[in-house]
């Protein structure tokens, strides 16, 4: 039975081709997993950059609204409605920008509540500046949680809520 002498090398060659193909497919599988992970990391970085820009814009406008509204209530000087009206409009546009960029409802809600509170102050609602700090802090916590989900923010104690304002 000399067929092994003829058939053996052919079978070994076929086994080598099968192992090579299997190794190649396994390598492609691993490469696709790495590529998918890299894509996730890039998308997360792009999301953080977009959201960071929206948050900074919102905070800039919120600061302007707060300063104008509080200077009016503290000093008795009422700035013209022309000053606060466009600022409040800009605040709502900045809030909408965050609403579009945010991945979490917590951030959307915290942003809306902070903007609503600021708009109330701008419309003449009497408030102390310290009353704006809780909505502002909850907004900042929600923004951090949306940008870095699962990471604990330094300086936040376990007693401080990180969810939406209740």
Alpha-carbon gap, residue 25 to 48, rounded angstroms: 35
pLDDT digits (tens, 9 = 90+) for 50-91: 999 999 999 999 999 999 888 876 655 555 455 788 999 999
Alpha-carbon gap, residue 10 to 8, rounded angstroms: 5
Q: What is the pTM of this model?
A: 0.69
Task: Return the pLDDT at 128.
Answer: 79
Task: Return the pLDDT at 165.
Answer: 42
Alpha-carbon gap, residue 56 to 63, rounded angstroms: 10
Task: Return the pLDDT at 140.
Answer: 95
Higher pLDDT residue, 95 or 36?
95
Mean pLDDT of the chain: 83
Q: Name the class of domain 47-147.
A: mainly alpha
Confidence of residue 159 (pLDDT cuts 50, 70, 90): very low
pLDDT digits (tens, 9 = 90+) for 90-107: 999 999 999 999 999 999
Q: Which residues contact 66 (CB under 8 A, 6 or more apart)?
A: 118, 121, 129, 132
Confidence of residue 2 (pLDDT cuts 50, 70, 90): low
Alpha-carbon gap, residue 153 to 47, rounded angstroms: 18
pLDDT digits (tens, 9 = 90+) for 147-158: 988 877 776 554
Task: Return the pLDDT at 158.
Answer: 46
Other CB atoms within 10 A of residue 63 CB? 12
Alpha-carbon gap, residue 43 to 80, rounded angstroms: 44
Asked whether the beta carbons of 125 and 119 are under 8 A apart, the reply is: no
Task: Return the pLDDT at 11.
Answer: 82
Q: How many CA atoms lie within 13 A of 91 on its CB side?
A: 27
> Which two three-digit tokens encode residue 41?
């990391």
Tokens 């579009």 identify what position? 100
């Amino acid at each position: 039975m000399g067929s092994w002498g003829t058939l053996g090398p052919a079978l070994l060659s076929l086994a080598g081709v099968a192992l090579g193909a299997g190794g190649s497919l396994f390598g492609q599988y691993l490469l696709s997993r790495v590529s998918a992970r890299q894509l996730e990391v890039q998308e997360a970085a792009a999301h953080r950059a977009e959201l960071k820009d929206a948050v900074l814009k919102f905070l800039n406008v919120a600061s302007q609204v707060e300063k104008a509204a509080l200077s009016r209530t503290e000093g008795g000087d009422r700035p013209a409605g022309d000053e606060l009206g466009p600022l409040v409009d800009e605040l709502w546009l900045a809030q909408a920008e965050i609403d579009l960029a945010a991945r979490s409802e917590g951030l959307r809600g915290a942003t809306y509540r902070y903007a609503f509170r600021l708009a109330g102050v701008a419309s003449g609602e009497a408030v102390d500046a310290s009353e704006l700090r809780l909505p502002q802090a909850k907004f900042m916590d929600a923004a951090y949680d949306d940008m870095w989900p699962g990471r604990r923010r330094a300086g936040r104690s376990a007693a401080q809520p990180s969810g939406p304002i209740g």
